[in-house]
Structure 1
Amino acid sequence: MKSPSVAALARSYRAERVVTALIGLLALLAGATALVVGQGWLGSFRAVRPVLDPIALDTLGNWQTHARVGAIVLGVLLLVLGLLLAARTLRPERHPDLALDRSVGSGLVVTASAIAEAIAVDAEQVDGVSRARATVVGDPEEPALRLSVWLHEGTRLKDVWRELDGSVLTRARESLGVDTLPTAVRVELGTAERQRVR
């Protein structure tokens, strides 16, 4: 089972992707069916019939109660699914603060933004890194880290990765007092400056 911190590394949009893929697949199948029928591959009789087929309309007319109940149930299910997906997509992401001292009256809490800023500043000290951005996510007991680094043009990625892993992330684990700090690193490579044509 995936721990909360690992699940928080890359906020999951799996449900949204699955729904989008299913809608796209249904649209593709509907389009392919319309093309096949319109081209007359299933018979010329079907190709010239209107979209609202009178036979289908007669069938629905004979089963009005069942058709209405089915339409209402389908509409309610789609409404509930849409509300669940909207709530899941819009829920705020957790950025845990770290309690260094839990003493009553004199407790010490370091905010997630302060932790992220310190890690980003540390990452920017690595040779070849032009800027960095960090985000702490997950649970307070099991935090996770998202680290984005932008590199100067010509920087060796291997060297940057070795220093990030060996120094920056090690210091972050020691500072947070955790043995493991699941981290997702996003690297943007620098490009040459564009020359203006005169």
Structure 2
Amino acid sequence: MEKVLKDGKLYSLIEFRDRIYEDLDLSKSDLTTLLCAMLIASIGLNMNTIPAIIGAMLISPLMTPILGVVFALAILDTKLLKKSFKILFIQVAVSLLASTLYFLLSPISYASTEIITRTSPTIWDVVIAFVGGLAGIIGARKKEANNIVPGVAIATALMPPVCTVGYSIATGNLEYMVGASYLFSINCSFIMITHILALM
């Protein structure tokens, strides 16, 4: 690890912390990106369109505050922890409210295959979140451009479960809401666990 750091291929812990602080923002452009990701994911789920769902995963900013929470716990930075949790909560709340509104207005009310898929988490979702989280922290600490982080965004799928919860609220389906919430919790939890283990 030291050799790699000296070669300048990875961010040092201080550089990585500073980068996370810079990325943790709630500017108009960030909220716009979040809403775009939510809308694309909701339409993809509604219309059973996988490419749209993948696109939403790629542009969703939900991974940034999760990474902030993990790194804050790893280095015991309470300021970063509070800021990361705050932004994660706001992002999830905004996505949830907006997706609920979308599904309330959408003329298509039936549950597509893509929606149903995200209401029944399996052990494979845990494995994907765990392995994806490990790859994510490796990719995030690399200075040069790489395709690891986008791949992790697709694999761990944070935005679609949130939008599925929005669908569940809009249609009053408690079973779907519990299942999708559980999937989102699994993804977040195991991404965090893997990141913390990798940083120790």
TM-score scaled by structure 1? Answer: 0.24
Q: Which has the larger radius of gyration?
A: 1
State the structure with bigger RCO (CA 8 A, min sep 6), 1 or 2. 2
Q: Which structure shows the bigger proportion of residues in strand conformation?
A: 1
Q: Which structure shows the bigger proportion of residues in helix conformation?
A: 2
